[in-house]
Amino acid sequence: MSDLLRAPGFPEEEVRARARDGERTVFPAADSYGTTLYGAGAPVPADGLDALRVAPPLFMPGRLGELVQLGREPLFSDVDLDTDIGGFRSPVPVFVCAFGSTRVANDGLAAAASRQAARLGLPMLVGENIAPVHGYRDEAELAGTLIKRIRLYLDEVPDGMGGVVVQQSTEDADAEVWNHLYSDPTVEPLLKTGRLGFELKVGQGAKPGLGGMTLVDRADGSRLAEQFRLSTLNGVADDDRNASLVRSSSPGTFTADILRHQIRLMRNNYPRCRTWVKLFPGRDVAEAVAVAHAAGADAVTVDGAEGGTGWAPTSFLHHVGLPLGECLVRLSDTPACLLASGRMWEGARAAKAIALGARAVGLGRAALLAVDEDADQGLLRLVRCLALELQMLTSAVGKYRVGLLSPDDLWRPDVPT
Partner 1 sequence: MLTLGNHQKSDPAIAGPPAPGDHLADPRTRAALRLQHHLLIAGREYLTEAGFVELLPPVIGPVTDPGVRGAKQVDVDYYGHRFKLATSGILYKQASLTAFDRIFNVAANVRLEPPEVCSTARHLVEFRQLDVELANAGREEAMHVAEGLVKHMVRRILDQHSALLDELGRDQEPLRLLVDLPFPVLPHPVAVTALHRRNYPQNPEAEIEWPAEVLLSREYDLPFFVTDYPRGSRGFYDRADEENPNVLLNFDLLAPEGFGEISSGSEREYEYAKVVTRLRETGENPAKYAWYLDMVRSGIPASAGFGIGVERLTRWIAGLEATWQATAFPKLPGVVAP
Neighbour-count burial for 272-284, b at 16+ CB within 10 Å, e otherwise: ebbbbbbbbbbee
Rounded to a whole number of angstroms, the minimum distance from the CB of residue 77 to partner 1 is 40
Report whether 346 contacts 389 (CB < 8 A).
yes
C-beta of 77 vs 255, nearer to partner 1: 255
Q: Figure out which of the listed residues 6, 24, 137, 261 binds partner 1, where binding follows CB under 8 A.
A: 261
At a CB cut-off of 8 Å and minimum separation 6, what does 305 contact? 205, 206, 208, 281, 320, 321, 322, 323, 324, 342
**By the rule CB under 8 A, 269 interacts with partner 1:** yes
Residue 262 makes contact with partner 1 by CB under 8 A: yes
Q: Does 168 bind partner 1 (CB under 8 A)?
A: yes
- Among residues 224, 11, 261, the alpha carbon closest in space to that of 134 is found at 224
Show contacts of 35-41: CB within 8 Å, 24+ apart: none
DSSP 11: -
- Residue 104 — φ and ψ, nearest 5°? -65, -20
378-396 and 365-373 helices, crossing angle to 10°: 130
* 114 forms part of the interface with partner 1 (CB under 8 A): no
Residue from 264, 384, 401, 412 binding partner 1 (CB under 8 A): 264
CB of 157 to partner 1, least distance (A): 21
Distance from C-alpha of 88 to C-alpha of 186, rounded to nearest angstrom: 19
**Of 183, 242, 314, 315, which lies in the binding site for partner 1, with binding defined by CB under 8 A?**
183
Q: Rounded to the nearest whole angstrom, what is the least distance from the CB of residue 171 to partner 1 in the complex?
A: 6
Q: How many CB atoms lie within 10 A of CB 257?
A: 9
Output 125 or 383, the one with its CB closest to partner 1. 125
9-48: which residues touch partner 1 (CB under 8 A)?
none
Select the residue interacting with partner 1 from 179, 222, 231, 332 (CB under 8 A): 179
List alpha helices for 93-244, DSSP H: 109-120, 130-134, 146-156, 177-182, 188-192, 218-224
Judged by CB under 8 A, how many residues of this single chain contact partner 1? 37
Q: Are 91 and 159 in contact (CB under 8 A)?
A: no
Q: Does 185 bind partner 1 (CB under 8 A)?
A: yes
**Least spacing, CB of residue 183 vs partner 1, in Å:** 5
Member of 182, 186, 313, 384 binding partner 1 (CB under 8 A) = 182
Q: Calculate helix-pair angle for 12-21, 365-373, nearest 10 degrees.
A: 50
CB of 253 to partner 1, least distance (A): 6
Please list every residue from 196 through 225 that binds partner 1, using CB under 8 A. 200
Residues at the site binding partner 1, with contacts judged by CB under 8 A:
168, 170-171, 173-174, 176, 178-180, 182-183, 185, 188, 191, 200, 226, 250, 252-254, 257-258, 260-272, 295-296
